[in-house]
Amino acid sequence: GDSVTQMEGPVTLSEEAFLTINCTYTATGYPSLFWYVQYPGEGLQLLLKATKADDKGSNKGFEATYRKETTSFHLEKGSVQVSDSAVYFCAAQGGSEKLVFGKGTKLTVNP
Amino acid sequence: DAGVIQSPRHEVTEMGQEVTLRCKPISGHNSLFWYRQTMMRGLELLIYFNNNVPIDDSGMPEDRFSAKMPNASFSTLKIQPSEPRDSAVYFCASSLRTGGVETQYFGPGTRLLVL
């Protein structure tokens, strides 16, 4: 079945540092890909998504590009802020409505 | 615009008791999902409904768990009897199934502790 693998955390950065969280997927066909973010004590929120190869999703300074050749959807941000501290989940949606999530990567940004 | 509403937000109960979690999806959405989140297992899909009909319940751990969706605006997840290993955060999510990409919108979760 479909699966998503994302880099293990936790990740700790200083404010204004560059962020990369790796995500790769295994799926039949061409799934839609998502990044969700979970702030402490809250539910998951959609951060960005991409539906086909070479699409770039972006939101709040975060970006991820759908790379079919490497089956990847890495999350990047050029300059993180303390308010970006959260858990980030990569997810894939294949032929059904089901989302398959990675295990999550906890990001802590220190001032 | 109200998002997904879950109640209660926190529940503490004793082993053997019945627990009922409630969810109100976003108005107009036709798919509803129940997830469980734990440190050990991450985020697991328990069951999902489309147009109030259960489509896939393969993630439901055992017969102690049951879910219903009597109408488009309400769903319940019931655990009877509850056990300490059921302690987790339970999320409800909804989406609009259109045949294209379907974004799921999550509720704030119910934090369940079974003593």
pLDDT in tens, B19-48: 999 999 999 999 999 999 998 888 999 999
Q: Which residue has the higher pLDDT, B46 or A98?
A: B46
Is it the case that residue B100 has pLDDT exceeding 90? no
> B109 and A101: CB-CB below 8 Å?
no
Tracing tokens 């089956």 back to the chain, one arrives at: A71
Q: What is the 3-state secondary structure (H, E, C) of chain B?
A: CCCCEEECCEEEECCCCCEEEEEECCCCCCEEEEEEEECCCEEEEEEEEECCEEEECCCCCCCCEEEEEEECCEEEEEECCCCHHHCEEEEEEEECCCCCCCCCEECCCEEEEEC
- Say how far apart CA B67 and CA B45 lie, in whole Å: 13
pLDDT in tens, B81-99: 999 999 999 999 999 877 6
What's the pLDDT at B1?
63
- Which residues of chain B lie closer than 8 angstroms to A42, CB-CB? 108-109
Give me the percent of chain B exceeding a pLDDT of 70.
Answer: 97
What's the pLDDT at A34?
95
Suggest the residue from B55, B101, B110 to mutate for an interface test with chain A (most A CBs closer than 10 A): B101
Is it the case that residue B51 has pLDDT exceeding 70? yes
